[in-house]
A and B are shown apart, each in its own frame.
Chain A
Amino acid sequence: MVKLLIPILILALAIGITIVGDDSALPGKNGGADFVFINRGDVSTLDLQKMSWSQDLRIGRALFEGLVGLDIFSHEYNVKPGVASRWEISDDKRTYTFHLRADAKWSNGEPVKAGDFVYSWRRMLLPDTGCDYIAMAQIIEGAKEFTTWREQRLGEFGKPGGENDARALWAETEKKFAEMVLLTAVDDRTLRFTLARPTPYFLELLAFASFYPVYPAQVKQYEVLDDSSGRLNTKSGWTKGGVLISNGPYMLTGWRFKRDMTFEKNPHYWAKERLGFDRMLMLSVEDVNAQVLAFRSGTVHWLSDVAAPYRAEILNQKREFYREHQVEYDRMVAEGLDPAEIDRRLPSDPRNRIGAYSAFGTYFYSFNCQPKLKDGRDNPFVDKRVRRAFAMAVDKRRIVDQVRRLGERPVSVLVPPGSIAGYRSPDGLPYDPERARRELAAAGYPGGKGLPTIEILFTKDGGHDLIAQTIKKDWEEHLGVSVELAMKEIKVFRNDVRGQNYMVSRGSWFGDFGDPATFLDLSRKDDGNNDRKYASAEFEDLMNRSDNEQDPAKRFELLHQAEKLIMEEDMPILPMFQYVEMQMFDPHVLTGVSSHPRQIENIQDFDILGDGKGPDVPKMLPVRPAGRGNAKNAKRAKKDKRRLQKTNQSVVCGVSPISSPCLPSSPSRSSRSMVFAQARSPRTSP
């Protein structure tokens, strides 16, 4: 009998040990954090030069600081000083000289030096690092050549005639970098570099987290020269809580895998008195419903993205709340107040704890522009008349109103209209089934005869199936074609799209910086993201000319023509709607959330009102004086209202507050500089 009890005793002992050994309980409620938030799932990496997800970049901006930052509470997204207190740009607009402030410090108290930037940007340029945004740094003179040189030498490594000593190759690389790339630390507090060509948006690019510095002494500890390939690999480990050394507003004190991250104010940060919190806690909550629950139960102050399937219903409740305060609301909209500020001035109400703002991203469909499909059949979409016909046969309004139901704006152009000050969007193609049929007949397929079955490729999650069904119905009804839906798993989908193994496919794009090029580059012949393999000499010519154009107004005109070409003539991409971003917060408690259509949220700008920490003053975009833009908004709102009354739908609010009425809808607003947006690149569509 005793023998039998032994296994059971072992079991009991094991349970005891594991329970005692698990250190997962939090020390007290929220660990004494002033601010608790959920940052869209989980952070993938804190290595600045490897980041590309918007939630990573957001934490990157809270932990580190670049030469400059962006004033997200200005309509123009003005550049403001960061580590650099001042800078000069040469007359030919190519050479930049930055002067670093003396009190810029790392979280271990060491001063931030110009050499730290050189080291970090070199990391960005090395093909070894694998930086998604390497192209941004390759604007610097000699940078692209340096990357190509290193890649070529690495390719020859170990082969006859090539280098086979990793250390020797690295020494040569360091020398080459100094020779080739026009980037130098003149002294510890002066950084100078020269661009290959004048780039009007380069200053704003420097506010992008990939250009922020890492602490060289620390990262070097983790760099390993691989003897078999000659590459410089960076091992993970230096980005952990209590280990990572950063130069930004906050520092990382803890990071538990898929549980939480904790932050503390960086005691050496030069502007620490501006910060709203002493301690912050970020919770990892993956389930989209649990995220909303965590906000509603008061566990978190801010939920960065609402992805719950019932978010359209949450928005409807907010619209209902607006209707109850219609007079006040209309007055404040007419005044041109920031939507977040409007919410703060309205009475406190649980229905009003969601912000929904137009984002810098477009949902679209791609047409395969190759003459042959992957299976050898002729591709009808090689003919731009066919592409135009299919584009004009889609009722985008219905997709937005009846399928998405998030108050998004249907668009006929790729660059979100009105998001870039000074840039004029073309008209694009309208919804016109009659004209679509004529185009199709002209292409040799009258009434859809002669066309093969059209296949729409999409992924299963995220409601793409509903959109595809609506489009299928439109095309079958208006064009007389037969349409098949091909739903694939995301990896297979990715492979198919990359390899042009499709006819029509869903897609989306979020801008990285406030220039039309961030969207238009997608259609350049050699761009790595040109999944359509669209190639047009005319388009290339316009884009090349815009690259070399010095006058910003003329440059925008060239870009306008380029967009007009792809959106009215060639139609490789069929834009559907402009995304809306949703976040949950109580406007009476939290301030610092930006409603600007670039949708950069800076945690370091957040503040809890009335807690005695930080400035405790509501932050908002300045009031826009009454003018054309507002009049146009009011008109649009009225039109929306009439249309809704006619169609008797309750899904879109009568005054469409969700499409940010006080944000620029016309690009006519003057601006001092071009404005830039954060990358939201690789991301699954909401």
Chain B
Amino acid sequence: MITLIVRRLAQFPLILLAIYTLTVVLAWAIPGNPLEKPEGRQPPAEVKQAMLRQYNLDRFDRFYFSYLDSALGVRYVRESISGEAARRAASAKSSGLAPPQRYVFDLGPSLQYEDWRVNEIVGAALPVSITLGLCAVAIALVIGVFAGVIGAVKPNSFADLLTLAVALIGISLPSFVIGTTLVLVFPVWLGVGALGGWGQLNQLVLPAITLSLPFAAYIARLTRMGMLENLKADYIRTARAKGVGEASVLLKHALKNAFLPVLSYLGPACAMAMTGSFVVEKVFSVPGMGQHFVNGVLNKDLFLIMGVVLIFATMLVAFNLAVDVLYTWVDPRIES
């Protein structure tokens, strides 16, 4: 297990560097000047040039390396060692002001939201997305496993067909349809739950359910398949022959093995649920990460694009690693 972790950790920077390089190249190719306002007064050419240079947007190589420099924390260390940071803090103190905020991993300024750094933007949006994503995955687990077990116990029964139908709807209906339907039914017709927004528990429920449905459907199918396969296995026949109760056979013996594919799916599912919820965020006005993916690209906000992509990539890789570790721990056969 240790070697697995070490090997995966060693791959980690390489994966991130590859993703970073690919994203910079693609984002650089987006047409337009990110500092130019779409309409209205334009500053003189020399001012525009100065602004481009300030953000290293006039040269690809300079941008590529300076971004790495600050995002990896190299700049932070350099400024700390050279005493530059301490000098600033002292001069701030002498005039009775708070010293400027510093970040170890500085993801740069946002070009669209000039007064904010990408760290602050991500810092505001990430907790929201994590909460929403984790809740959605939890709901999906409960619904999915439950439906999968029912389907496997009585294959092709009415209950099985019903869960199959729900799963099919969950996978094939886009979340803006599910989301708006839920909004229509609950807050508008029944007066339960909130229309949108963030900060209260009742504002969390509907978006979490909407986000969870495709995952729930997938988990249900995974569980059902695994359960069906395992229920036919010899060890289940042995357990039954020994006179083990049916509930114990299902939950303790069959589900334990049937859950493994679900477990491996949870890694990417968590990352997907936390960052890929743009539509759900839009429908329920949730201030999460998804909007920054889309807006960043639309505005050619290079720093924001790089920031959210790197965060997402890190999360994806980390979750996959965590799941792999859990996986080998739960089922020691896997590693070999």
Task: List chain A positions with a Cβ less than 8 A from chain B.
Answer: 1, 3-4, 6-8, 11-12, 14-15, 18-19, 21-22, 24-26, 42-47, 50, 52-53, 108, 127-128, 130-135, 147-148, 151, 154, 217-218, 221-222, 226, 229, 231, 233, 235-240, 243, 256-259, 285, 287, 290, 490-495, 498, 508-510, 512, 528-529, 679-685
B199 at the interface (CB under 8 A from A): yes
Show 29 A/B contacts (Cβ-Cβ < 8 Å), sorted by A: A11-B137, A14-B130, A15-B138, A18-B127, A18-B131, A19-B204, A24-B199, A24-B287, A44-B114, A47-B114, A52-B41, A132-B37, A133-B41, A148-B46, A151-B46, A151-B50, A217-B97, A222-B100, A236-B117, A237-B100, A237-B101, A238-B100, A257-B125, A495-B31, A528-B43, A529-B42, A682-B39, A682-B41, A683-B40
Chain B nearest CB from A21 CB (Å) reads 6
B237 at the binding interface (Cβ < 8 Å): no
A26-B200 Cα distance, complex, nearest whole Å: 10
- Report A-chain residues with C-beta under 8 Å of the C-beta of B141: 8, 11
Q: Are B41 and A1 in contact (CB under 8 A)?
A: no
* Residues from 123 to 151 in B contacting A, C-beta threshold 8 Å: 124-125, 127-128, 130-131, 134-135, 137-138, 141
B263 within 8 A of A: yes
Residues of A within 8 A of B201 (CB): 19
Q: Are B114 and A229 in contact (CB under 8 A)?
A: no
Cβ–Cβ contact A22 & B41, under 8 A? no
Measured CB to CB, the closest approach of chain A to B20, in angstroms, equals 21
Inter-chain contact B259/A132, CB cutoff 8 Å: no
Instruction: Decide: A1 and B256 in contact? CB cutoff 8 A.
Output: yes
Q: What chain B residues lie within 8 Å of A44 (beta carbons)?
A: 112-115
- Whether B47 pairs with A134 at a CB distance below 8 angstroms is yes
Closest chain A residue to B132 by CB distance? A18
A45 with B39: CB separation less than 8 A = no
CA distance in complex: A134, B50 (Å): 13
Give the distance to chain A from B223, nearest Cβ to Cβ, in Å: 13
Query: Most chain-B CB neighbours within 10 Å: which of A14, A148, A226, A233?
Result: A14
Does A512 lie within 8 Å of B117, measured CB to CB? Answer: no
Residues from chain B with a CB closer than 8 A to the CB of A491 are: 30-32, 38, 298, 300
B255-271 contacts to A (CB < 8 Å)? 256, 259, 263, 266
Closest A residue to B201 by CB, please name it. Answer: A19
**Closest Cβ neighbor of A43 among chain B residues:** B115
Q: Which 7 A-B pairs have CB atoms at the shortest separation, nearest pair first? A: A682-B40, A491-B32, A682-B37, A681-B40, A681-B41, A45-B114, A130-B51
Among candidates B91, B115, B259, residue contacting A45 with C-beta atoms closer than 8 Å: B115
A134 to B41, CA, bound (A): 11
Inter-chain contacts of B53 with A (CB < 8 A): 229, 231
Contact A257 B116 (CB under 8 A): yes
**Contact (A236, B115) CB under 8 Å given A491-B32, A492-B32:** yes
Question: Contact between B97 and A25 (Cβ–Cβ < 8 Å)?
Answer: no
Q: CA separation between A306 and B331, bound complex, in Å?
A: 60
Tell me the number of A-to-B contacts counted with CB atoms below 8 Å.
181
B124 — which chain A residues lie within 8 A by C-beta? 256-259
Complex alpha-carbon distance, A46 and B115, angstroms:
7
B285 in the interface, Cβ–Cβ < 8 Å? yes
| Nearest-Cβ distance from residue B333 to partner chain A, whole angstroms | 14
Is B115 within 8 A of A231, CB to CB?
A: no
Inter-chain contacts of A3 with B (CB < 8 A) = 329-330
A257 and B120 in contact, given A1-B256, A14-B130, A130-B50 (Cβ under 8 angstroms): yes
CB proximity of A206 to chain B, nearest CB, Å: 18
A24-B128 CB under 8 A given contacts A6-B326, A11-B137, A217-B95: yes
Chain A nearest CB, measured from B26 CB (Å): 15
Query: Closest residue to A285 on the B side, CB-wise?
Result: B285
Evaluate contact between A528 and B42: CB separation under 8 angstroms. Answer: yes
- Which residues 169-212 in B have Cβ within 8 Å of A in the complex? 196, 198-201, 204
Q: Which residues of A contact B41 (CB under 8 A)?
A: 52, 132-133, 512, 529, 679, 681-682
Query: Which residues of A have CB within 8 Å of B137?
Result: 11
Contact A259 to B287, CB < 8 A, known contacts A52-B41, A221-B88, A490-B38 = yes
Smallest CB separation, B87 vs chain A (Å) = 11
Cβ-neighbour of B134 out of A18, A25, A498 (below 8 A): A18
Q: Are B115's CB and A47's CB within 8 A?
A: yes
Interface check B98, CB cutoff 8 A: yes
Which of A15, A217, A290, A490 neighbours the largest number of chain B CB atoms within 10 Å of its CB? A15
B138 to chain A, nearest CB (A): 6
How many interface residues does B have (CB within 8 Å)?
Answer: 69
Report how far A52 CA is from B41 CA in the complex, Å: 8
CA distance A24 to B36 in the complex (A): 32
On chain A, the residues within 8 Å of B92 by CB distance are 221
> Min CB distance, B198 to chain A, in Å?
6
Contact B199 A130 (CB under 8 A): no
CA of A53 to CA of B115 in the docked complex: distance in angstroms?
Answer: 14
Chain B's nearest CB lies how many Å from the CB of A50?
Answer: 6
A131 and B47: CB pair below 8 A?
A: yes
Residue of B at shortest CB range from A12? B138
Contact with A along B47-63 (1 / 0, CB 8 A): 11011011000000000
Contact at A147–B46, with CB atoms within 8 Å?
Answer: yes
Residues of chain B contacted by A238 (CB below 8 angstroms): 100
| With A45-B115, A147-B46, A237-B117: A494-B32 Cβ-Cβ less than 8 Å | yes
Residues in A neighbouring B83, C-beta threshold 8 A: none
Q: How many Å lie between the Cα of A512 and that of B137 in the bound state? A: 52
A487 to chain B, nearest CB (A): 15
* A18 touching B97, Cβ below 8 Å: no
Among B100, B127, B204, contact of A235 (Cβ-Cβ < 8 Å): B100
Contact A257 B121 (CB under 8 A): yes
Q: Which residues of B have CB within 8 Å of A240?
A: 115
Report which of A7, A25, A133, A492 forms a contact with B199, defined as CB distance below 8 A. A25
Query: Is A236 a contact of B114 with CB atoms below 8 Å?
Result: yes
Check: B307 CB closer than 8 A to any chain A CB. Answer: no
Which A residues touch B91, using CB under 8 A? 221
Query: Known: A236-B114, A508-B39. Is A22-B127 also a contact (CB below 8 A)?
Result: yes
B252 near A236: Cβ-Cβ < 8 Å? no
Q: Are A19 and B100 in contact (CB under 8 A)?
A: no
Q: In the bound complex, what is the Cα–Cα distance between A406 and B124 (angstroms)?
A: 38
User: Shortest CB–CB separation between residue A216 and chain B, in angstroms?
Assistant: 10
The verdict on A22 contacting B199 (CB below 8 Å), with A130-B51, A491-B31, A512-B41 known, is yes
A258 to B288, CA, bound (A): 10
Q: How far is the CA of A528 from the CA of B112 in the complex (A)?
A: 21
The smallest C-beta distance from B209 to any residue of chain A, in angstroms, reads 15
Pick the residue among B31, B38, B116, B266 that contacts A7 (CB under 8 A).
Answer: B266
Q: Are B199 and A15 in contact, with the CB atoms below 8 A?
A: no
